[in-house]
Structure 1
Amino acid sequence: MSKIAIVTDSTAYLDQETIERYQIKVLPLSVNFGEETIEETNLGYEKFYDKMRSFPNLPTTSQPALGHFIETYEQLAKDHDAILSFHLSSGISGTFQTAVSAARSIEHAKVYPFDSEISCEPQAFFIREAAQMIEDGKDVDEIFKRLSEVRETLQAYFIVDDLNHLHRGGRLSGAQRLIGSALKIKPILTFENKVIVPYEKVRTYKRALQRVLNFLDQSASKGKQINASVIHANALPEAERIQKEIQEKYDNVTVSISYFGPVIGTHLGENSIGVTWYESN
């Protein structure tokens, strides 16, 4: 039976238990505060938001170097026949393309770069599904079939507190039509064709959140098991409140709490909230 390894970049924000259980290799992206560059795995999210709040300019971000990918793949190729490499959307970062370039130079294992077309916990959804299937002895074809099923039902919506982060970072497609009224609205954002786009304009955060929870209700009402997560940018009490509300309403929804780490938090800004889910087996 072939041995399959998993690689991901740090924007999946996997918990340490998952990383250790499935022996996942994590390639960190970095946050740049002026001349200071810090790998986000060395920067806790609370510390990051404190630092960003006091920093005069918006930090920038950078992807892992090509050599880091090659070195990681070559090391894994010594003991594995296949490597699944999961990365944040190619529409907002060059990380996936770097993985593709690195994969071409690996001779002793087949590397499968996977564009999650999203980031954060939804990216982690794919990884956990694949990791469990590897543990269960499934092959690459079976894994990719399941990942396609996950993608079909995966939904993710988020509400940012301040659109200026996304606008200045160039990560929001169609931002110009929102910026003029940014102080008056709380737009619901989503990923579409690998980029962040405005989904719907709503006047208040409360209404925006309720709209997102209505989308979840439409999925949950089908009666299938749903794996969901509330994602927060240094807004844990609000994330816990939303989690509790979902838990109390649905018997068929398992909901966790995750977070927007430093790299993604740079672009979304503090106090952003997201809700994501897909149909689990």
Structure 2
Amino acid sequence: MIKIITDSTADIDLDYAKELNIDIIPLKVIIDGKEYKDRIDLQPQQFYDLLASSEVLPTTSQPSPQEFLNLYEEAKKAGDSVIVMTLSSTISGTYQSANIAKDLAEYDDIYVIDSLATTQMLRLLVLKAVRLRDSGADVKDIVNILEDYKHKIRIVAFVDTLEYLYKGGRLSKTAATAGTLLKFKPIIGLREGNLEMFAKARGTQKATSKIIDLIHEDGEIDFDEPICIGYTGHDDGLDKFEQTLRDEFGFGEVLHGFVGPVIGTHAGPGARLIAYISK
């Protein structure tokens, strides 16, 4: 058997995780001094309600090595192989916790992958691992494929409000105030594990057009792989965003994802994203 483990930033809810037969280790979210386990004590919608009323930006903390070790020990006892995919090591120490636990487990059949991703990107990597496991692939082959695949996963999003990027120290007050007055929407994404601002545009329509331009510049979407449309806070106007992308690229079915606290803290409510695999 192959045991697949990821963390809660993959934004996979716990019932869905059971269906996929995977384990999810929660990150912790601290809001106004109170600690919650992501998606266990705190569902995404509750998080955005608390975010709106909180004076101070929430913080997150990585899982302890012990939380990984508990699952590793189970696998060791059962003689199972383990594949772990964590959010990008540049964003969090979760990858480090998973590796410390591997050393403590003294079990060779554990493979820890730095996904260089988070939210719907990480979800796409996990879904790939599940498909490969369920097709009967060998653990080492799966790990090799995933290490290659993770470099093809893309995410592009626009942020609806600059307030949270400012609060999180990613924008100066002057830039945030000017941007808000001009209705600027930053277009952000992850590149090799790092959060970057790719561009900015005025208003939702222009921001969506800019996302389309960025996807074209990057190359082609691989339509044989899943595409995910995601959002933070609320899904008002999400169907219009999706339809504009659909009209441009002509893709079929998509997955939908609700972005949880770790990225939601910095993006704030109203962000829209697409995650896909590039050819």
* TM-score bucket of the superposed structures, by smaller chain: 0.7 to 0.9
Separation of aligned partners in 2, 1:223 and 1:147: 16
Count of residue pairs the alignment pairs up? 275
CA contact (8 A) 2:222 2:278 kept: no
Report how far residue 248 of structure 1 moved.
5.1
- In structure 2, the partner of 1:38 is 36
Q: Which piece of structure 1 moves more, 178-187 or 72-81?
A: 178-187
Identity %: 25
Partner letter of residue 224 of structure 2?
Answer: Q
| CA-atom RMSD in angstroms | 2.5
In 2, the alpha carbon distance for the partners of 1:245 and 1:226 equals: 20
The residue identity in structure 2 corresponding to 1:87 is T
Deviations along 1:87-120, one digit per CA (max 9) or x if unpaired, are: 1111111111111111111134522111111201
- Structure 2 equivalent of residue 56 of structure 1: 55
CA separation of 1:215 and 1:197: change in aligned 2, threshold 3 A: closer
Match of 1:209 in 2: 208
Please point out which of 22, 25, 40 is paired with 1:24.
Answer: 22
Contact 1:58 1:266 in 2 (8 A): yes
Paired residues of 1:227 and 1:279 also in contact (CA < 8 A)? no
Distance in 1, Cα, partners of 2:86 & 2:222: 31
The yes-or-no answer on 1:151 pairing with 2:150 is: yes
Shift of 1:214: 3.4
Unaligned runs of 5+ in 1: none
Alignment CA distance shift 1:106-1:214 (3 Å): same
Check whether the contact 2:222–2:277 (CA below 8 A) recurs between aligned residues: no
CA positional deviation for 1:63: 1.4
Shift of 1:178: 5.1
CA displacement 1:53-108 (0-9 Å, x = unmatched): 11222111111122112112112222243211111111111111111111111134
2:97 — aligned with what? 98
Contact 2:220 2:278 (8 Å CA) reproduced = no
TM-score normalised per structure 1:
0.87
8 Å contact kept, 2:2–2:82:
yes
The answer to whether the aligner puts 1:182 opposite 2:161 as a matched pair is no
My pick for the range that moved more, 127-136 or 232-241, is 232-241
SS in 2 for 1:67: helix
Unaligned residue ranges in structure 2 (runs of 5+): none
Which whole-Å deviations, capped at 9, do the CAs of 1:155-201 have from their partners, x for residues lacking one? 1111112334234335x4xx459547432322211112422111112
Counterpart of 1:88? 87
8 Å Cα contact 2:113/2:147 also seen in 1: no
Match of 1:13 in 2: 11
Q: Measure how far apart 1:217 and its partner are.
A: 5.3
C-alpha contact 1:122 1:154 (8 A) present in aligned 2: yes
Q: CA 1:91 to 1:163, structure 2 compared with 1: closer, same or farther past 3 Å?
A: farther
CA-to-aligned-CA distance 1:117-142 (integer Å, 9 cap, x gap): 12011101111111111111101232
For normalisation by structure 2, the TM-score amounts to: 0.87
1:43 aligned partner, one-letter code: L
Cα offset for 1:5?
A: 0.6
